[in-house]
Structure 1
Amino acid sequence: MNDEQLQVVMGLIMNAGNAKAEAVAALTAAKEGNFILAEEKMIAANEALVEAHNVQTGLLTAEASGDHTTVTLLMVHSQDHLMNAISYLGLTQELIDLYHRLDSK
């Protein structure tokens, strides 16, 4: 893996990690009844997730164009971070909706 590929993979890990961290903060806010903050944090989480997804799309586009990347443990790790973030954000939004529903009763 060359330096450019390493930078791309680390960007994927960083953005996916940021997305999950914002979602954790959103869930904490919802548990405390602060749904405005929860929504703001989920917006930030989704923005970071889009950045991570854009990095992944760049990798896929390069691969499809014939620019093959060596699959390393770090590359696999970055994809794992992204998939976990996607799953976590989806579940977090469901939980926030549930907290909001319970709070309104």
Structure 2
Amino acid sequence: MTNTMKNSEDVATIGFSIVAYAGDARSDLVEALRCAKNGNFDEARRLVKEAEKSINLAHNAQTKMLTKEANGENVTLSFIMAHGQDTLMTTMLLKDQMDTILDLYERVFVLENR
């Protein structure tokens, strides 16, 4: 197996890891929104914490890729890696907004149930 082929397989494996972990996090965050909409704020916050764990795993996989390149390895970009990066970044953005969104849902829930 050539070094280029091995590198491409490593990049694909890392890309798939990022997609999987970020996808799991996104699913948890979307479910957290559904829970908050239904007034289940404890479960929503638990799901956000689970999403944070998955985001950290995705970020660790991303760091492996960055380390390879920083160490001088010729890293071949692939569609899987691009998809992984896109999924991770949009999921991180959603996560960054979740505290505000959950707080707003909770305020609305309290006001509607006075």
* TM-score (norm: length of structure 2): 0.84
* Of 63, 75, 81, the match for 1:75: 81
Q: Distance in 2 between matches of 1:60 and 1:3?
A: 16
Percent identity of equivalent pairs: 32
Q: Which moved more, 1:29-38 or 1:68-77?
A: 68-77
Q: In the alignment, is residue 13 of structure 1 matched against residue 19 of structure 2?
A: yes
Contiguous gaps of at least 5 residues in structure 1: none
* Of 72, 75, 96, the match for 1:66: 72
* Of 8, 14, 21, the match for 1:2: 8
1:15-37 CA distances to partner (integer Å, 9 max, x unpaired)?
01111000001010000000110
Cα deviation, residue 11, structure 1: 0.3
User: Within 5 Å, which residues of 2 pair with 1:1-105?
Assistant: 2-105=8-111
| Alignment: residue pair count | 105
Runs of 4+ in 1 over 6 A off after TM superposition: none
RMSD value over aligned CA atoms?
1.3
Contiguous gaps of at least 5 residues in structure 2: 1-6
Cα deviation, residue 3, structure 1: 2.5
Cα deviation, residue 104, structure 1: 3.0
